[in-house]
């Protein structure tokens, strides 16, 4: 069964003078194909200043652009795979728990 991953950008911090986005605040969620279990992570990542000649105007930037930039800033495909693997591990633990918590006397 394949897990479904969703990357979302919740906020973009920008420099008002240039409109360049400097920080992305994001979440990534993983959900089992049957929708029974989910796991998530969130973070913020700084972006390097864009080249003024190729920069996309702030009001033209899409969420897809930002997700592409944040994946590159995280460290590319290898680091993205590590994030997804960590979420997969959380889902596996939810499906087939190996630990538990509680109070033995609470019954």
- 106 belongs to a structural domain: no
- 28 belongs to a structural domain: yes
Q: Decide: helix, strand or coil at residue 82.
A: helix
- Burial of 30 from C-beta contacts in 10 A (0-12 / 13-18 / 19+): buried
- 47 belongs to a structural domain: yes
- 107 belongs to a structural domain: no
In this structure, the chain runs to a length of 107
Residue numbers of the domain that contains 66: 3-101
Domain tally, the chain: 1
Q: What is the pLDDT of residues 56-90, one digit of tens each?
A: 999 999 999 999 999 999 999 999 999 999 999 99
Q: What is the pLDDT of residues 11-44, one digit of tens each?
A: 999 999 999 999 999 999 999 999 999 999 999 9
- 76 belongs to a structural domain: yes
The pTM of the full predicted model, rounded to 2 decimals, is 0.88
Q: pLDDT band for position 107 (50/70/90)? A: confident
């Amino acid at each position: 069964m394949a897990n479904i991953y969703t990357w979302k950008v919740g906020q973009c911090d920008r420099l008002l003078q240039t409109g360049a986005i400097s920080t992305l605040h994001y979440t990534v969620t993983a959900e089992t194909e049957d929708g029974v279990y989910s796991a998530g992570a969130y973070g913020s990542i700084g972006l390097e200043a864009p080249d003024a000649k190729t920069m996309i105007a702030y009001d033209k930037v899409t969420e897809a652009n930002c997700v592409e930039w944040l994946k590159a800033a995280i460290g590319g495909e290898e680091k993205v795979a590590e994030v997804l693997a960590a979420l997969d591990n959380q889902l596996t633990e939810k499906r087939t728990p190996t630990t538990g918590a509680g109070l033995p006397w609470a019954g």
